[in-house]
């Protein structure tokens, strides 16, 4: 069993990934930590509590960061055109959800849970990296106690999705992402190189909903707005960004990768760009030297990933 803390900003694709984690038989979901990004921290936390209630998830929810690790960064408008005004596809999520929060802030929850389970916890982070960076800042030793970190974010050999060079999660808090990438723990980066070519059609999801229970039907309902948004890029479907990171935890053989030190550009016109220095490549001395080698996924068996997601969602 993989003990997983899911760091998330629900978010439509976050919701699919959450149901995957909840239902996969090899995953023990031991915590959900929220972060701002697809919506405000109040909205993403409410959405996590809503999905916890609707899907009968036992894992506790801890509320996380509401601003970037460098508070002088200015926040733009929330991407309501992607995820809807309520963050979950405009399905009229209730204003309040009567489910208790864990009393600890997310970074404390991460620290204490990792310390209670040394060498066993995988952090799956599919939003901004702020909570993970705050945990490292508070307790740097946890880097040696975490089993692995799997993130959805970044882009290396393909364009970005919020600027020509940057992906949304990394661009939302580049300083935090650079802290996470350069820490002495094992990071696997699942970025646009693989997620942008892994799409689920409206019909495929609809078929799963027709065969599945009310949890999958809710997922299908909340995904429709998101699928409509993707009409510019996908033929009547959606990119399943966050679920790809979750699939890696249980089926890394479905991905190909390179390894090397990773840095994140902080500031300027390339703000949020992720750059890997591949192992074995030699350059003059620079800012990638002496840093841990991380795993960057560059290839994916997309249909096998989609089928694994579909099969898992149907496990009631």
Give the 3-state secondary structure of 139-157: CHHHHHCCCEEEEECCCCC
Question: For residue 259, which phi and psi values (nearest 5 degrees)?
Answer: -130, 155
Active-site residue, from 2, 171, 241, 282: 241
Q: What angle do CA 259, 264, 266 make, to 5 degrees?
A: 170
Q: In terms of C-beta density within 10 A (0-12 exposed, 13-18 middle, 19 or more buried), how is residue 69 classed?
A: buried
Is 2 among the residues known to form the active site?
A: no
Q: What residues pair up with 243 in beta bridges, in sequence order?
A: none
Q: Do the Cβ atoms of 57 and 4 come closer than 8 Å?
A: no
Cα distance between residue 145 and residue 185, in whole Å: 8
Cα distance between residue 247 and residue 270, in whole Å: 30
Cα distance between residue 111 and residue 130, in whole Å: 14
What is the three-class DSSP state of 212?
coil
Question: For residue 43, which phi and psi values (nearest 5 degrees)?
Answer: -75, -45
As a whole number of Å, the CA-based R_g of the chain is 18
The label of the residue with tokens 């733009």 reads: 76
Question: For residue 284, which phi and psi values (nearest 5 degrees)?
Answer: -60, 160
Cα distance between residue 144 and residue 114, in whole Å: 10
Strand 61-62 with 27-34, pairing: parallel
List, by residue number, the catalytic residues: 241
């Amino acid at each position: 069993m993989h003990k997983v803390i899911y760091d998330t900003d629900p978010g439509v694709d976050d919701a699919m990934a959450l149901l995957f984690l909840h239902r996969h038989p090899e995953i023990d979901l031991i915590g959900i930590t929220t972060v701002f990004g697809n919506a405000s921290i109040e909205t993403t936390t409410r959405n996590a509590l809503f999905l916890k209630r609707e899907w009968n998830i036992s894992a506790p929810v801890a509320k996380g960061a509401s601003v970037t690790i460098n508070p002088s960064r200015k926040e733009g408008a929330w991407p309501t055109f992607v995820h809807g005004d309520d963050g979950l596809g405009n399905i009229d999520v209730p204003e309040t959800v009567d489910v208790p929060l864990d009393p600890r802030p997310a970074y404390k929850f991460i620290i204490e849970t990792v310390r209670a389970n040394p060498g066993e916890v995988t952090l799956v982070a599919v939003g901004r990296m702020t909570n993970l960076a705050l945990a490292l800042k508070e307790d740097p030793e946890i880097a040696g106690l975490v089993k692995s970190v799997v993130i959805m974010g970044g882009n290396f050999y393909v364009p970005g999705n919020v600027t020509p060079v940057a992906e949304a999660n990394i661009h939302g808090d580049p300083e935090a992402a650079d802290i996470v990438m350069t820490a002495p723990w094992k990071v696997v980066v699942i970025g646009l190189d693989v997620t942008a070519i892994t799409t689920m059609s409206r019909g495929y999801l609809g078929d799963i909903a027709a065969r599945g229970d009310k949890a999958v039907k809710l997922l299908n309902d909340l995904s429709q707005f998101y699928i409509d948004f993707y009409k510019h890029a996908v033929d009547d479907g959606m990119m399943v960004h966050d679920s790809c990171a979750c699939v890696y935890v249980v089926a890394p053989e479905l991905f190909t990768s390179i390894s090397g030190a990773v840095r994140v550009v902080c500031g300027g016109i390339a703000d949020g760009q992720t750059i890997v220095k591949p192992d074995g490549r030699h350059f003059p001395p620079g800012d990638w030297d002496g840093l841990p080698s991380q795993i960057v996924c560059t290839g994916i068996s997309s249909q096998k990933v989609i089928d694994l997601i579909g099969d898992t969602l149907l496990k009631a």
